Amino acid sequence: MTGFTEPANTQTALLLLGRGSDAGSERGVDCPGELPAPSDPDLVARAKAAKEALGGNVFVLGHHYQRDEVIQFADVTGDSFKLAQQAAARPDAEYIVFCGVHFMAESADILTGDHQRVVLPDMAAGCSMADMATASQVEQCWEDLQRVGIADVTVPVTYMNSTAAIKGFVGREGGLVCTSSNAERALRWAYEHGEKVLFLPDQHLGRNTMVRDMGYSLDDCVLYNPHKPNGGLTDDELRNAKIILWKGHCSVHGRFTLECVEEMRRVDPEVNILVHPECKHEVVEAADYVGSTEYIIKQLEAAEPGSSWAIGTELNLVRRLANRFPDKKISFLDKTVCYCSTMNRIDLPHLVWALEELVAGRVPNVITVDERTASYAREALDRMLALP
């Protein structure tokens, strides 16, 4: 696994100002070349023309959280893992244009062939959750577990929403990747191979799966804060825990509160509350249905006409579902607009620029994972794919 250099204060300031990048992080703003203006009335026609010119050499993937202007050009839509699988299933496509965020494009690069190149239209499309667990922080956590004497009985599990470096660490230490759909199966596998789990980087998915789906108590869970010595925990707390949750979260799903649920029920007593398991534990406990993005879509597909639904997930998807199912009352769980800001960096001008660069014979914004990290990360992904 490659080393990781923490950004210095100056580098961090430049990142916040939008004037720098960090190759070891999900964050970055470099995007060489001239983007077309967002007001260009020919953007749709330019995207169509470029895509037609590339033909079967390009395969465009669109995450569910993307805006409609981008989704219309996607050959396949889905969640992060489905899209990475779809990329791997198209070996004839020389270019994979991934309309998602950085860690998703990394996963596609890990799973595709050496002859294929994965392109991210905007390198600034990162993920705040993935940024909450850096390689050096996780290595320090593992050293803490070794010092306490529990590393040998701890299986690391990382959510798909993590960097390739974290997936590589997990693969190297005998763990596996999980998605929001198979987190319970992944954790049960982990407990068959060890006594404890280190769950990265989303505390809420780990906690909700342990308590809601597997019957453990909140007391079985401890929260490791990478910004505090020993994670802010005592040695005994680490030794006694069944699962060590990383202090990370999704900035979109973390916004939903119990008050949102209660207010929605006051307004509409017949409403069905449907949320993603990245939401806080108290929100999940108060909801009627909990599941992954694909689960949310399937629930609404099967819902009765006239039924009322309040959805706790990203707004682009909720709005698209409301338009798709006009016979059902579908609303956003929170009154506050809640887009995934980094996902929304992939807009139509960036997509047009990327496609036109490919037409011109230039390959922009290639996402490449070094072979050693990719090898370990593939081990972690393969263990997930082998789950019953």
Question: Which pLDDT tens digit goes with each residue over 135-185?
Answer: 999 999 999 999 999 999 999 999 999 999 999 999 999 999 999 999 999
Q: 279: annotated binding-site residue?
A: no
Contact at 8 Å (CB) between 249 and 176? no
Distances (CA, A) of 340 to 62, 71, 282, 334, 369: 14, 15, 22, 14, 24
Q: For the domain made up of 130-250, give the CATH fold.
A: Rossmann fold (3.40.50)
Q: How far is the C-alpha of 222 from the C-alpha of 49, rounded, in Å?
A: 53
Q: 161: annotated binding-site residue?
A: yes
Token reading at 235 = 């040695």
List the end-to-end C-alpha distance of the chain, in Å, as a whole number: 28
| Structure confidence at residue 11 (pLDDT) | 44
Contact at 8 Å (CB) between 81 and 385? no
- Asked if the model's pLDDT at residue 99 lies above 50, the reply is yes
| Structure confidence at residue 41 (pLDDT) | 87
Q: 159: annotated binding-site residue?
A: yes
Q: 250: annotated binding-site residue?
A: yes
Q: Does an H or E element contain 366, and which?
A: strand 366-367
| Structure confidence at residue 22 (pLDDT) | 54
Contact at 8 Å (CB) between 62 and 70? yes
CA 180 to chain centre: 10
Could you tell me which of 316, 321, 313 has the C-alpha nearest to residue 291? 313
- Asked if the model's pLDDT at residue 29 lies above 70, the reply is no
List strand residue ranges (DSSP E) for 193-340, in order. Answer: 196-200, 221-224, 243-246, 272-275, 289-290, 308-312, 329-332
Q: How far is the C-alpha of 147 from the C-alpha of 145, rounded, in Å?
A: 5
List the CATH code of the domain at 253-339: 3.40.50.10800
Q: For the beta carbon of residue 215, count every other beta carbon within 10 angstroms.
A: 8
Q: 63: annotated binding-site residue?
A: yes
Q: How far is the C-alpha of 343 from the C-alpha of 354, rounded, in Å?
A: 16
- Report domain extents, the chain: 45-127+343-370, 130-250, 253-339
- Asked if the model's pLDDT at residue 44 lies above 90, the reply is yes
* Average pLDDT over all residues of the chain: 90
- Looking at domain 45-127+343-370, which of 1.20.1250.20, 2.20.25.160, 3.30.70.20, 3.40.50.10800 is its CATH number? 3.40.50.10800
Q: 340: annotated binding-site residue?
A: yes
Count of positions (residues) in the chain: 388
Q: 80: annotated binding-site residue?
A: yes
* Amino acid type, 36: P
Residues 283-312: what's their mean pLDDT? 96
| Structure confidence at residue 194 (pLDDT) | 98
Query: Do the domains 45-127+343-370 and 253-339 sit in the same CATH topology, yes or no?
Result: yes
Token reading at 96 = 């994979």
Q: 277: annotated binding-site residue?
A: yes
